[in-house]
Amino acid sequence: MANTFEDYTVSTSTTNFNITFEYLEDSHVVVEIDGVLQSTSAYSVVAGSPNQVQLNSAVSSGVVRIRRDSNADSDNPFVDFVNGSVLTETELDKSYRHNLYLNEEIENLNEQSLQKKAGSNDWDAKSNKIINVTDPTLVQDAATKNYTDTQITNAVSGSSTEAAKTTFTGNASTTVFTFSSGITLNGDTMYEVAIDGVLQEPTVAYAIDADANTITFTSAPPNSSKVVVIQRGYAVPVTTGSVTTAQVNDSAITTAKIADSAITDAKLASGVAMTSAERTKLTGIATSANNYVHPNHTGDVTGSAALTIANDAVTAAKLADTSVTAGSYTNTNLTVDEQGRLTAASSGTSGSVQAKCSFDANGTLNAGGKVNVASVSRSSAGVYVLSFSSAVTDPIVNATIADDAAFSGTENECKVTVQSLSTTQMTIHTGRGSFSATDCPVHIIVF
């Protein structure tokens, strides 16, 4: 299908627009700006490649449509054949093209027109908006968005328009009266009607027809009677009624919707409301303060000082378990942390004996049970030197007097101390200068 127009969306100052279709005469090229047809004096057709429309005044925004109008004027036909004249190719072609262009223009207009949906009596706007529509007057008129929004607002918050009053004069024969200003509310009960001050019953005494703008009485009002019709206005706005729970969506009431101090104790669930005394306690607490005093605790409970625990208050049940398994251990290996807690424990192996012996107060070795000890000699009073048969490694000594009770001296005289120790010999001091023959022997074990 040939295109008979071109739309240009303008965003910068523009005067010249290309002509993209064929035409017979310059006068057949017309210009519309935002849907408004421009006078032929507002533009001119400029020859070129392609030809252009040049506006006298530049356009900075909006939609400019350049279209063809081949002037279908039956009173002034574009080609007029005369009897006996010569039919030239030029004239015949011009006549044909004129008819062709007219049909193309009609086809374009038809494609852009509002049409009924195929196989239906319903109008199909093809998902486009219908614009430049006036507000409805009759009940079944199409409503504009503005009109609908206004009616919804009036229904919710009430109409700001005052009730309207219309008067008629009865003549004892006329039953139908027409409202000169027109009416919009179609309902008998939406009007108060009185004849000579006597209120008439809706539907029984009269009927309203908003489409016809009329009121029809069952019986004609008396001659010279005064008929007063008052349009009540709109229904009671929703804001003066009550909203039930069923009308409120879940989670629709947010904190922002609740006015300050609007929720009283009566609106709170049982157990949530506070008493006046409880509010007083909360009011007395300073911001970020910790004024709590435990009724049984005598120590300090604050955010900065250490917590005081009463003596013997922490029982075994209050102590956290460690990784140590309860039980008895031999030759124990222990791990203790900085707080003195056992964190590991295991049984070890006893060290092997590298040397051992016993000797009397005279330094005489007891041959029984001697291990790796070659000799014992007394170097001075109470001082004895033991020589090992073979060297020992990392020696640990356990030196004791067999029976402390056999001594008659002081406690210090009963002690055995190691004065020196090497891998080949050791020197001990018995704490006593000499022993009697009855003194008990000394035992030496080197691990």
pLDDT tens string 348-394: 776 678 888 887 766 677 777 778 888 888 878 778 888 888 888 87
pLDDT at 219: 96
Q: Share the mean pLDDT of the chain.
A: 81
Q: What CA–CA distance (Å, rounded) separates 208 from 166?
A: 13
- How far is CA 182 from each of CA 21, 208, 210, 211, rounded to the nearest angstrom? 49, 12, 8, 9
Write the burial class of residue 366 (CB in 10 Å: 0-12 exposed, 13-18 middle, 19+ buried).
middle
Q: What CA–CA distance (Å, rounded) separates 115 from 123?
A: 6
Residues 6+ apart with CB under 8 A from 60: 10, 11, 12, 13, 14
| Sequence-separated contacts (24+) of 336-343 with Cβ below 8 Å | none
pLDDT tens string 39-92: 999 999 999 999 999 999 999 999 999 999 998 887 888 888 888 888 888 889
pLDDT at 446: 65
Residue 414 phi, psi (nearest 5) = -90, -5
Q: What is the chain's length? A: 447
Residue 208 pLDDT > 90, yes or no?
A: yes
**Residue 5: band (very low, low, confident or very high) from pLDDT cuts 50, 70, 90:** very high
Among 136-140, 209-213, 264-268, 403-407, whose mean pLDDT is lowest? 403-407
**So where are the chain's domains?**
5-108, 133-240, 279-350, 355-446
Residues 6+ apart with CB under 8 A from 285: 291
pLDDT at 179: 92
Residue 165 pLDDT > 60, yes or no?
A: yes
Q: What mean pLDDT is predicted for residues 250-272?
A: 80
Taking the chain, what is the end-to-end CA distance rounded to the nearest angstrom? 117
SS3 130: coil
pLDDT at 43: 97
Q: What mean pLDDT is predicted for residues 188-205?
A: 93
pLDDT at 434: 52
pLDDT at 323: 80
Among 16-25, 40-49, 250-259, 329-338, whose mean pLDDT is lowest? 329-338
Amino acid identity of residue 9, one-letter, is T
**Residue 21: band (very low, low, confident or very high) from pLDDT cuts 50, 70, 90:** very high
Percent of the chain with pLDDT over 70: 81
Among 97-111, 192-206, 229-243, whose mean pLDDT is lowest? 229-243
pTM for this entry: 0.38
Structure tokens at 104: 């193309």
β-bridge mates for residue 126, sequence order = none
